[in-house]
Amino acid sequence: MEKRKKDSDIDAIVAKYRPVVSFRVKKSIGVQTPDWEDVVNEIMINVVEKLKKGEFRGDSSVGTFIYTITSRRIIDFIRKKSKVLKHAPEPNPYLSPHEHVENRERAQWIADSIKRLKPKYREVLFLYYYQELSREEVAKKLKISPRRVSERVNYAQKLLRKVMKE
């Protein structure tokens, strides 16, 4: 069985998994500092090395293989960071790790699209995502069933997905 991956395969793998690794890393360590990009790069380099050396045995999926490397790196990074307590500059209060919106124009575009949704969809988005109430709590407030809450939330997202893909 072919154990080593061809270069073109490796490029394809990197292209496919870089966004996933980036997402995971950003969520775990935040985006306030540029550290996350370094961590992602280190992980991808590590992955490429291992693929070239034939260390990937193919008994799990490539995704799981990359997931394992990613998890280890993140743990190492956090351990290192906890030990070195440098004085951090005053952080921007509006940039929270997984709530960081990278492209301002796009963010405004999405916000405007949400504003254009019918009130019943905006209500559920407000209660469920902005206030993070549970399905049941939202149902109680709006006097509808929890199932209807889910349906509305899903439908609102469907409507927005069309917009976000533009």
Binding site for another protein (CB under 8 A): 16-17, 19-20, 23-24, 29-30, 32, 61, 63-64, 66-67, 70-71, 78, 81-82, 85, 88, 91, 93-101, 107-108, 110-112, 114-116, 118-120, 122-123, 125-127, 129-132, 140-143, 157, 160-161, 164
Q: Could you give the 3-state DSSP secondary structure of residue 95?
A: coil
Query: Going by C-beta distance under 8 Å and a sequence separation of 6 or more, which residues neighbour residue 123?
Result: 142
Cβ at position 75, least distance to another protein in Å: 11
* Number of Cα atoms under 13 Å in the Cβ half of residue 122: 10
Q: Rounded CA gap, 146 and 135, in Å?
A: 6
State the nearest-atom distance from the C-beta of 7 to another protein, in Å.
Answer: 22
Tokens found for residue 52? 């070239």
Pair of tokens at residue 81? 């960071």
- Pick 52 or 141: Cβ nearer another protein: 141
Task: State the nearest-atom distance from the C-beta of 111 to another protein, in Å.
Answer: 4
Of the two residues 4 and 109, which places its CB atom closer to another protein in the complex? 109
- The distance of closest approach from Cβ of residue 100 to another protein in the complex, given in angstroms and rounded to an integer, is 7
**CB closer to another protein out of 41 and 129:** 129
CB of 49 to another protein, least distance (A): 18
Cβ proximity to another protein, 4 vs 120, nearer residue: 120
* Cα angle: 63, vertex 31, 41; to 5 degrees: 45
Select from 72, 61, 88 the least CA-distant residue to 21.
72
Distance of alpha carbon 23 from alpha carbon 7, whole angstroms? 24
